[in-house]
């Protein structure tokens, strides 16, 4: 398989790049993960299962009420979706750093951002049914 001949950028037809959109999702997810990620992981998946939170703090009734409350739904969807896009952005670039990317990038984009979109869609569907 040979590489397609490269035409200089100035002679190629102008196409809009999807990079800004992906960058916004990456940046927003990174900021969210940096500000709230550590404490949320600590509280929700370390302290809560070990019973180190006050009783009821992350109990069934309270969490269910949260995901049935529309600001709660939006917050959880934003958290899951943005974290997924942030992580898949880095996975995508990490795979390219390791030389594992495809030449056209199209398949890699589809797989990485497709997976992030899938996570967001599944979360939205679950929240819709909550």
What does the binding site for other proteins look like in residue numbers (CB under 8 A)? 27, 29-31, 33-50, 53-58, 60, 63-64, 67, 76, 79-80, 83-84, 86-91, 93-94, 97-98, 119, 122-123, 126-127, 129-130
Nearest distance from C-beta of residue 9 to other proteins, angstroms: 17
Nearest distance from C-beta of residue 2 to other proteins, angstroms: 24
Nearest distance from C-beta of residue 121 to other proteins, angstroms: 10
- Decide if 87 contacts 44 (C-beta within 8 A): no
Nearest distance from C-beta of residue 4 to other proteins, angstroms: 27
- When the beta carbons of 93 and 109 are compared against other proteins, the nearer one is 93
- Decide if 61 contacts 115 (C-beta within 8 A): no
* Residues constituting the chain: 130
Contacts 24+ apart (CB under 8 A), 107-110: 109/18
Helices (runs of H) and strands (runs of E) counted in the chain:
4, 0
- When the beta carbons of 5 and 20 are compared against other proteins, the nearer one is 20
Whole-angstrom distance, CA of residue 75 vs CA of residue 127:
11
């Amino acid at each position: 398989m040979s590489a397609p001949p490269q035409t200089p950028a100035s002679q190629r037809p102008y196409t809009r790049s999807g990079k800004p959109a992906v960058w916004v999702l990456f940046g927003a997810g990174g900021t969210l993960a940096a500000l709230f990620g550590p404490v949320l992981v600590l509280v929700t998946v370390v302290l809560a299962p070990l019973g180190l939170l006050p009783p009821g703090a992350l109990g069934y009734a309270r969490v269910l009420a949260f995901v049935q409350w529309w600001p709660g739904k939006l917050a959880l969807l934003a958290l899951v979706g943005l974290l997924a896009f942030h992580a898949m952005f880095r996975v995508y670039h990490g795979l390219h750093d390791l030389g594992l990317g495809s030449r056209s990038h199209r398949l890699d984009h589809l797989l990485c951002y497709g997976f992030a979109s899938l996570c967001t869609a599944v979360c939205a569907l679950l929240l819709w049914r909550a």
